[in-house]
Amino acid sequence: MTARPHILHLHSTFAAGGKERRCVQLINAFGAKARHTIVSAEPERLDAARGIAKSIAVTLQPDFPSLKGSPLPGRLQQLARAMKPFDLVLTYNWGAMDAVMAHTLFKDVHDLPPLIHHEDGFDESELHRLKKSRTWYRRIALGKTAGLVVPSERLEEIALVDWQQPLGRVKRIPNGIDTKALAMRPKADALRLIKRKGEMWVGTLAGLRTIKNLPRLVRAFAPLPEDWHLVILGDGPAREAILAEADRLAINHRVHLPGSVDDPARVIGLFDIFALSSDSEQFPLSVVEAMAAGLPVVAPAVGDIAHMVAEANVPFISEPGSDGGLRDALHRMAQSKALRTALGESNRAKARAEFDEAKMVATYRRLYGSAMGREL
Over residues 109-157, the pLDDT tens digits come to 999 999 999 999 887 777 678 899 999 999 999 999 999 999 989 899 9
Per-residue confidence (pLDDT) for residue 73, from 0 to 100: 94
Single pTM value for the model: 0.76
Over residues 230-274, the pLDDT tens digits come to 999 988 899 999 999 999 999 999 999 998 887 877 889 999 999
CATH, range 6-176+356-372: 3.40.50.2000
Over residues 175-224, the pLDDT tens digits come to 888 888 777 777 766 677 888 899 999 999 988 989 999 999 999 999 99
Residues of the chain with CATH 3.40.50.2000: 6-176+356-372, 179-354
The residue among 20, 145, 16 whose CA lies nearest residue 89 is 145
Which class is domain 179-354? Answer: alpha beta
> Which distant-in-sequence residues (6+ apart) come within 8 Å of 157 by Cβ?
none
For 157-185, give the DSSP string.
Answer: HHHHHTS---TTTEEE----B-HHHHTSP
Alpha-carbon Rg for the chain, nearest whole angstrom, is 21
First to last CA, the chain: 14
Per-residue confidence (pLDDT) for residue 184, from 0 to 100: 72
pLDDT band of 16, cuts 50, 70, 90: confident
Q: Order of strands across the sheet with 297-300?
A: 255-259, 228-233, 200-205, 273-275, 297-300, 317-318
Per-residue confidence (pLDDT) for residue 261, from 0 to 100: 83
Residue 215 contacts residue 241 (beta carbons within 8 Å): yes
C-alpha–C-alpha distance, residues 264 and 242, integer Å? 21
Is pLDDT at 1 greater than 80 in this prediction?
Answer: no
Per-residue confidence (pLDDT) for residue 177, from 0 to 100: 83
C-alpha–C-alpha distance, residues 181 and 59, integer Å? 28
Per-residue confidence (pLDDT) for residue 337, from 0 to 100: 97
Greatest distance between any 2 Cα atoms in the chain: 66
- Sequence-ordered alpha helix ranges (H) in the chain: 18-30, 73-83, 97-110, 132-141, 153-161, 179-182, 214-221, 239-248, 285-292, 305-308, 323-334, 337-354, 357-372
- HSE-CB at 225 with a 13 A cutoff on CA atoms is 9
Over residues 336-374, the pLDDT tens digits come to 999 999 999 999 999 999 998 898 999 999 999 999 999
Per-residue confidence (pLDDT) for residue 126, from 0 to 100: 74
Cα 238-241-244 angle, rounded to 5 deg: 150
